[in-house]
Amino acid sequence: MHFDDRLATVLRLPSSGDALARIQYRQLIDILGNLPGDVDSDTVDAGFARMAELAARISAADRARLVRGPLQPLSNPRLLALLAEAEPEVASAAIGTARLEEAAWLELVPALPVRARGILRHRRDLGEKVDALLARLGIHDRGLPPCPAPSTPQGAGAAGGSSSVSVTEEAEPFDLLDEVQTAEIAAGSPAPASLADLERVAATRGAAGLGTPRSHRPTEVRDQPVAEDSAGIGAIVRRIEEFRKAREKHGGAGTSTRLPLGDPQSTVPLAAMDFATDSEGRVSWAEGPHAGALIGLNLAALDPANREPLDPASSLVQAQVPGIALSMRHRQPLRAVAIDITGAPAVSGLWQVDAVPHFDPASGRFTGYAGRLRRPGRIAPVDAPPAAQPSEADRMRQVLHELRTPANAIQVAAEIIQQQLYGPAPHEYRALAAAIAGDCAHILAGFEELDRLVKLESGTLGLESGDSDLVSVLRETVARLKAWTQPRGSGFLLPEPQAAPLRVALERTEVERLIWRLFAVLAGMTAPQEVLPLRLRFENGRLVLQISLPALLLARDGQSLFDMPASERGQSLSTGMFGIGFSLRLAAAEAAAAGGGLQRDGHDLLLSLPATTGGAADGAQDGEIRAV
């Protein structure tokens, strides 16, 4: 065969009649069941779609019969997952005939419905890893343990038509139910679905001879006709009833499936549990030592709107939020939704649910919720110390951080346009982008100065110590300002030079930044032909620089000089975006962080900085060292 077109051939065949529909359904099972699970094509998708159409026309009993008898065992995980979501008899037939690799089982089992996992648990050829996965998912063996057959009174055979021969080989009740179900399907009638149906069938069909399977009968009875075995379904009903009574009497002792009721509770309270639900909101998987107590719990049924009114004094009235079922119906996330679970002691009580809906990535179909159950948090005691509140400086730094982010983004975008990094741009746009980039740089510089002021005033930032010549810094700063002051005839009058330098205990960069900030503000406020004299003196281990105030600032009193609004900028060369008052306040903060200060004294500003030993300061007395 050069290429396999069997599936396309089957899809082209008509399926108008019931017989043709069953034939095509069987052919699709044979072909799709032997394809690899990762095969993905339009033809394969069309085959699965045709199977869904035929399933709506063919009864569940016929489909189960067709699934049980394929030419080869099912080896396609995708087909098995589809059949496992069908009716119980179809799912049982598919799981019974499936033959997958261990890795394929491990991948498929978590996606199977809870009912299909329970059926799968009865297989004994899956491997240890698959069995361990089923146990971890909370699916345990639901088979009933063998129990001794009830003793038959003498003469019962004559009265009731039953045999007095004791059964020596016991069949599991679920095996007996399977036998009855097979016989019912073969007879063309539906199988009993409940204990009441079993009792009804036992009363109406007691003479049918449906009893203990022949493989489980004694040798001397096995050869007798089925009609002679009068135990029938009534025997199955009696055995199930005796099992229930025995479990109620002994508390589930023995080999029966049991819940951890009566076990000593763990000393560590259960704080949280992860879970997953099916599409109906029923818990299908849970994690933790008490996962079995949550399996099958319907979260939608815990909606307060679906329950009787609670006691108004109950804390649940304030904790629960109505509309859980409505939120789940609309596939909305659940956030801190309070529910009250009634069940085993370990899981009973108030819980908070946080869950998100999950959807099939291929089809978009809603598959359920996944989330976590957690106990509500405890309220802190009244006398507990209050949590530390962020300081004013911390809040200001947070605000500056949030302001820098958009300003940086705008500046980067403007520079990209101005530099034509992503392609040519008109000159008008480039000019506008350059102006925007300059404004952003100006804004960011103002943010940096504000951040520096906050850190200096809060004590989280200090100036770097060192050894610098103050007179040399003054001379360089005045020379830099001549481009602004010399055309106007204004400026600063430096002291007469001396042999020994005057040094301050600061790094030169810090001194230059401080002197430039202060002198730029004063130079911008000077009137034409106004010269500001400078004086230096040594006082209490500090060098004090005395600067005469410009006439425009003399009208200000002492403190208002440092509190001038940002709108009063004058002609300052370097007042930033916050004005003259902010620049003087920042200079005062820098001087204070260095161990000195900046304050007004009459018509002068006094800048004091810590002096270092050496130079002219060693032998100088307190008083004026240099003057004009």
- pLDDT value at residue 93: 87
Per CATH, 272-374 and 468-626 having the same topology is answered: no
Q: Determine the pLDDT at residue 183.
A: 44
Residue 582 in tokens: 């902010």
Of 386, 521, 391, 507, nearest to 459 by C-alpha is 391
What pLDDT sits at residue 616? 46
Number of other CB atoms surrounding residue 594 within 10 Å:
23
**Which of 222, 201, 204, 202 is closest to 212 using CA atoms?**
222
What tokens appear for 204 in the block?
A: 């109406």
CB 319 within 8 A of CB 358: no
Residue 445, token pair as written in the block: 């510089």
Q: What are the tens digits of pLDDT across the range 360-369? A: 888 888 999 9
Task: Encode pLDDT of 71-110 as tens digits.
Answer: 677 888 888 888 888 898 888 888 888 888 888 888 888 8
Query: Taking all residues of the chain, what is their mean pLDDT, rounded to a whole number?
Result: 75
Instruction: Choose among 264, 281, 192, 268: nearest CA to 233.
Output: 192
pLDDT at 254 (0 to 100): 44
Contact 7, 42 (CB under 8 A): no
Kindly list the domain boundaries of the chain, sorted by start residue.
Answer: 6-136, 156-250, 272-374, 392-458, 468-626
Task: Read off φ and ψ for residue 412, nearest 5 degrees.
Answer: -65, -45
Are residues 411 and 437 in contact, defined by beta-carbon separation less than 8 angstroms?
yes
Structural fold of domain 272-374: Beta-Lactamase (3.30.450)
Q: Torsions phi, psi of 623, nearest 5? A: 140, -170
Lowest mean pLDDT among 199-203, 217-221, 469-473: 217-221
Give the per-residue pLDDT at 411.
Answer: 92
What are the CB-based long-range contacts (under 8 Å, 24+) for 455-460? 455/393, 455/397, 456/586, 456/589, 456/590, 456/592, 456/593, 457/393, 457/589, 458/391, 458/393, 460/393
pLDDT at 224: 44
When mean pLDDT is compared across 84-93, 155-164, 294-303, 424-433, the lowest value belongs to 155-164
Q: Which residue has the tokens 């035929």?
A: 54
Q: What percent of the chain has pLDDT over 90?
A: 11
The total of other beta-carbon atoms located within 10 Å of residue 501's CB is 15
CA distances from 598 to 364, 399, 547, 610 (A): 70, 28, 11, 12
More confidently predicted of 418 and 250: 418
Residue 237 burial (CB count, 10 A): 19
Instruction: Give the list of residues 6+ apart from residue 300 with CB closer than 8 angstroms, or none.
Output: 280, 281, 306, 324, 325, 328, 329
Give the gyration radius of the chain's Cα atoms: 45
Choose the most confident range, by mean pLDDT, from 118-127, 165-174, 221-230, 274-283. 274-283
Task: State whether residue 273 is helix, strand or coil.
Answer: strand
Give tens-digit pLDDT for 574-624.
Answer: 666 777 888 888 889 999 998 899 988 888 889 999 988 654 444 444 455
Residue 600: φ, ψ to 5°: -95, 140
Instruction: Extract the tokens encoding 102.
Output: 């261990």
| DSSP H or E run through 353 | strand 349-359
> Which is the CATH superfamily of the domain at 468-626?
Histidine kinase-like ATPase, C-terminal domain (3.30.565.10)
Using CA atoms, how far residue 554 sits from 37, 398, 518, 546, in Å, is 90, 37, 16, 15
Token pair of 87 as six digits: 């009716």
pLDDT score recorded for residue 369: 92
Residue 208's Cβ-count burial label (10 Å; 0-12, 13-18, 19+) is middle
Q: How many CB atoms lie within 10 A of CB 554?
A: 11
Mean pLDDT of the 500-507 span: 83
Residue 337: what residue type? V
Distance between CA 514 and CA 523 in Å, rounded?
14
Burial environment of residue 601 by CB neighbours within 10 A (0 to 12, 13 to 18, 19 or more): exposed
